[in-house]
Chains A and B, each alone.
Chain A
Amino acid sequence: MTEAHTEPKSLPIAAREPQCPYQPAAELRALQKEAELPRVKVPSPLLGEFDAVAITRYEDVKDALGDSRLQMGFEFDPDKPRTMLNQPGNLLNYNGEGHSRLRRMLTGFFTIKRIRALRPMIEQVVADRLDEVEAAGQGADLVRLFSTPIPTQVICELLGVPYADRADFQRRAKVGLDVNTTLEVQVQNLKDMDEYMSGLVAAHRRSPGENMLGQVVRDFGHELDDDELTGIGNMLLIAGHETTASMLSASAALLLQNPEQLAVVRDEPEAVDRAIEELLRYVCPATIMPREAAEDFAVRDQEIRKGERVVFSILAANRDERDDVEGDPDTLDVRRPQRPHVTFGHGAHQCLGQQLARMELRVALPALFQRFPTLTLAVPDDEVDYRTTALVFGVNALPVTW
Chain B
Amino acid sequence: MKVEIEEFKCVGAGHCVVAAPEVFDQRDDDGVVILLDADPPEHEHENTREAAQLCPAAAILLLEKATST
**Measuring CB to CB, which residues of chain A are less than 8 angstroms from any residue of chain B?**
66, 100, 103-105, 107-108, 110-113, 115, 340, 344-352, 354-355
Contact = CB atoms under 8 A, between A and B. Distances in A.
Interface string B36-62: 000000000000000001101110000
Contact of A104 (B12, B14, B53): B12
Contact of A350 (B9, B28, B30, B56): B56
Interface in B1-56: 8-9, 11-14, 17-18, 26-32, 53-54, 56
Q: Which 8 pairs between the two chains have the least Cβ-Cβ distance?
A: A107-B12, A107-B31, A350-B56, A104-B30, A112-B17, A111-B31, A112-B14, A111-B26
B18 A112 contact: yes
B14 A110 contact: yes
14 contacts: A66-B58, A100-B11, A103-B11, A105-B30, A107-B30, A107-B31, A108-B28, A108-B29, A110-B14, A110-B31, A111-B26, A112-B14, A345-B56, A349-B11
Interface of B: 8-9, 11-14, 17-18, 26-32, 53-54, 56-58
Secondary structure at chain A's binding surface: helix, strand, loop or mixed?
A: loop
Contact of B12 (A111, A344, A346, A349): A111
B12 A103 contact: yes
- Residue from A66, A103, A112 having most chain B Cβ neighbours under 10 A: A112
Secondary structure at chain B's binding surface: helix, strand, loop or mixed?
A: loop
Contact of B32 (A107, A344, A346, A350): A107
A148 B48 CA distance: 37
Contacts of B12: 103-104, 107-108, 110-111, 352
B54 A104 contact: no
A345 B17 CA distance: 19
Contacts of A347: 56-57
A95 to B, nearest CB: 13
Contacts of B8: 100
- Residue from B26, B28, B54 having most chain A Cβ neighbours under 10 A: B26
A351 B12 CA distance: 10
A104 B27 CA distance: 11
Contacts of A113: 26, 28
B56 A355 contact: no
B28 A107 contact: no
B14 A111 contact: yes
